[in-house]
Structure 1
Amino acid sequence: MGKIILVIKTILKRMFKKPSSFFLYLILPIAVSIGMYLLFNLEDHDKTNITVVDADQTMLSRSLIGNFEGTDGFDISHVHLSYLHEHMMDTGTSLAYIIPSGFEKAILAGEKPALEILSVGDQDTIWLDEILSAHVDTLMMMAEASNFQKKPLYEKIYQLKDGRVNYESTLIQDEAKKKSVTVRTFGNYMVVLLISTFTIPFQILNEKRQGTFARIGMSPIHPKSYIFANIIANVLVMMVQVGVVLLTLKFVLGAVFFVNPFIIYLILILFALCGISLGVFIAAYSKNTNAAGAFMGIIVSPSCMIAGCLWPIEFMPEYMQKIAYITPHRWTLDAISTIQANQNFVEILPHLLVVLSFTVLFFLIAVYKFKHEDKLYA
């Protein structure tokens, strides 16, 4: 055991002998995490663009529009119905609602008018429908109190501040969006984490090329023990890297994980271990570093895109979302999302077991391959 520890120390010294190693293992992961968190957090605070078509052009329709114009977080634009779709496509607006002609007339008749809400893509419209419906209900109650007479109703509206319905607003934190920011940040960080773990096949293959395995085959240290030492050294480096990234996000950027950070740490470490096992698998079936590099290129980008590391998986077709579960990345991200939502570690155990199964599978296949190479070092 003492010899393996000595080998681990030697490998760690060699790993950090070049300044580029600090960039790969520490600076790059921290930079990516900070950059992605700030970017996604900036998107989270953007105003919601809403396009309005007022086909009624009355005091009551203007009061409905004023409900949003007087509220922070909304950017309202007005357009004629004939230009609505063109305007939404040109400006990238994803939500719009149409106030029909006869809106005021319907309210004065005691009938609740129907508003049409349009959305682009999968934009949720339930909240917009509820806000508009609540305001229309308020207008109808005011109309009833005015005996459905236009003049008394207008007088009541004019009595309100700035001609708008008087309401109180309370700022609440939208946890769903903040959780999405952290999950997307971790998804992008997992790409860098996977690249960091994939240095191990290059280490093993370079040692094969330089004859290190042949030399240690004649020493008390078996090649399998040397590979094990490589794995342990990389695990130690990943433990430091993940810890530094989480500490930076939490204490420098003030990120909220909605769960004990240690649980997030364990989830990411398990994924890192899976990446290391995949790296050993690549080393076992690659003849040289060029082959390993090509193998990595085939694995990293497609798997990260399919798994939803680079963008929300909801943007992908349903069949692609199902295919994503052939990757350990998807199970890792699901584990983070689930623990954030439910705060129950038991519920993510199946996810962690799946990632662990991937890890064991890659290791076993690699061990089987290395076993048949033992005769080279007999």
Structure 2
Amino acid sequence: MAARFTVTYYIRAIDAAEAKARALDIALEQTVEIPRRVVPTGYVEDEILGKLETLTPDPDGRPGFLASISYSDDDVGGDFLQFLNIVFGNSSIKPGLKVEDIVPSSGVLALCQGPRHGIAGLRRRAGVGQSPLLMSAIKPVGLSTLELARLAHDFALGGMHYVKDDHGLVDQKMSPFGERLRACVDAVGEANARSGGRTSFVPNVTGPANAIIDRAKEAEAAGAGAVMIAPALAGYDVVRALSADPEFSLPIVTHPAFGGANVISPDCGFSHGAYFGTLHRLMGADAVIYPNFGGRFGFTREECLSIAQACAVDIGGPKAIAAAPGGGMTFSRLPEMRDAYGNDVMYLMGGALLEEPNLVDACRRLVAAVHS
């Protein structure tokens, strides 16, 4: 018998009987996709068919139940996208179903070896101990390469550990990818030489399928310190494949663009922790950007803390990764963010710094505030 991994689903249902019927339907739909009465006996029924392990009322008081269903590693066949298909393929189209948690098996962990660096590696690259990491973004789209490189220089001079492309910067004529990459790496290097810092530039390599891997390797050759990918746009297996590529060694930062529909419904999609935490770790992300509570996107404090917890909890092998909350971080909100996240976090502040009259001084004030 092959090892089995477990997915816990929230099922909207009026009573246990309805919930059980829906859970058994998930077990069928996600594996054999035929009526239960014609499932072949023997190997298919005993091994391939999903198995309902537990069914309990929802502890959070939602009108439904939590169903834990196990699946065989033989369902996956050594294919990460098939793993995702088993987790929530056809059933994702049905209303009132939400993936709450994923407990990987030995086979899934062998397939998804997780992040190469994790939060510990990001700290080593930045030359910091157990303190929080700091990241900012050059923006907006429409600035020239020279203007964006100047911003990268000032962020680095001010002490930000990582300076990334805005997710909207790709290969536009105002700032082509290769030109911007080289200019920003040089600008950050110049700032590091002046300050003695170890800031890394993080280009956005999201793009056409046939260009992403090439851009990532171009970034490494040019001296970038990490790369950023939006997996909901680029494809989830792209992140996993790049993380596992023996010819690539940089950390990977993931961006949430196009991924919001996976989490914002109260009873469809994924829980925040399962999507931004567990799945991104299994993909091989070293840091995951997500909207912070109190910002402009509406995530709650509890949802954000569930992401941070899923980034760090032991899941059997993959390294802990950096939770990188952003999208509304301001100086005035630092105390509550420090209270919520502690030290194992990468703060992402962009617009609030760009609003300041002196960007370098603003960054230095942020460094002092976070590390005080």
Smaller-chain TM-score range? under 0.3
Structure having the higher helix fraction is: 1
- Bigger Rg over Cα: 1
| Higher fraction of strand | 2
TM-score normalised to structure 2 length:
0.22
